[in-house]
Amino acid sequence: MFRLEDIKELVRLVDQSSVSELEIEHEGSRLAIRKSVQPAAPVPAVAVPAPVIQQPVAVPTASAPAERPEPSGGLGQERAIVSGQAEKLHTIVAPMVGTFYRSPAPGAPPFVEVGDKVNEKTVVCIIEAMKLMNEIEAEVRGEIVEILAENGQLVEYGEPLFRVRLE
């Protein structure tokens, strides 16, 4: 169940960001916050949990223009054709709304860089949400091939953060 202070903080974050809609599932509860077009305050609504649907997303080939895939709301896996060789990529997505940090503290080296090898327990970033620092793990084995979020950027649920070439 969501605490009133948590809901107020989420409403404040949504109000101050470009996010127009936010849905969060936590411990069997679902919270949806939507900005209205008029200058009225967003109204939180709590409902039953919704299933998370995992959908594959196609990555463009080298000859096609690059497109950013839409967040799938789950951990997405894609396939790409690189130099005639099939390559399996995994996209690590934000599991929550919050502020994305690449390192554990200001001035500290980033958790991962492009080219770094990761495993299921490797911490790749921190997302700060409601004054809590949440370590995000890779959950797969492979190599970081792309970092999609900027340090200090507000990220949305399901937003792609990293691409990993799977081993």
- With beta carbons less than 8 A apart as the criterion, state whether 14 and 35 touch: yes
pLDDT (mean) for 110-123: 95
In a domain, 54, yes or no: no
Q: What's the pLDDT at 9? A: 80
In a domain, 52, yes or no: no
pLDDT above 80 for 138: yes
How far apart are alpha carbons 28 and 23 in whole angstroms?
13
Both 97 and 140 in a single domain?
A: yes
How far apart are alpha carbons 118 and 129 in whole angstroms?
24
Q: Which residues pair with 133 in a beta bridge?
A: 128
Give pLDDT tens digits for 42-92: 555 544 454 544 455 555 544 444 444 444 444 443 333 344 345 789 999
Give me the domain span that covers residue 12: 4-47
Both 35 and 93 in a single domain?
A: no
Q: What's the pLDDT at 85? A: 43
What CATH number is given to the structural domain containing 114?
2.40.50.100
Using CA atoms of 31, 36, 41, 42 in order, give the dihedral in degrees to the nearest 10: 0
How far apart are alpha carbons 93 and 74 in whole angstroms?
7
Q: What's the pLDDT at 1? A: 67
Both 31 and 103 in a single domain?
A: no
pTM for this structure?
0.51
In a domain, 105, yes or no: yes
In a domain, 111, yes or no: yes
Total structural domains in the chain? 2
In a domain, 61, yes or no: no
pLDDT above 70 for 4: yes
Both 23 and 102 in a single domain?
A: no
In a domain, 88, yes or no: yes
- With beta carbons less than 8 A apart as the criterion, state whether 44 and 25 touch: no
CA 152 vs CA 20, 33, 53, 135, 140: distances in Å: 20, 23, 28, 15, 24
| Amino acid of residue 74 | G
Q: What's the pLDDT at 125? A: 96
Percent of the chain having pLDDT more than 90? 44
Both 80 and 152 in a single domain?
A: yes
Both 80 and 43 in a single domain?
A: no
Q: What's the pLDDT at 48? A: 44
Both 36 and 91 in a single domain?
A: no
Both 161 and 82 in a single domain?
A: yes
Both 97 and 159 in a single domain?
A: yes
Q: What's the pLDDT at 64? A: 45
Q: Which of 14-23, 121-130, 155-164 shows the lowest mean pLDDT across its residues?
A: 14-23
Q: What's the pLDDT at 108? A: 93
Both 35 and 92 in a single domain?
A: no
Percent of the chain having pLDDT more than 70? 68
In a domain, 127, yes or no: yes
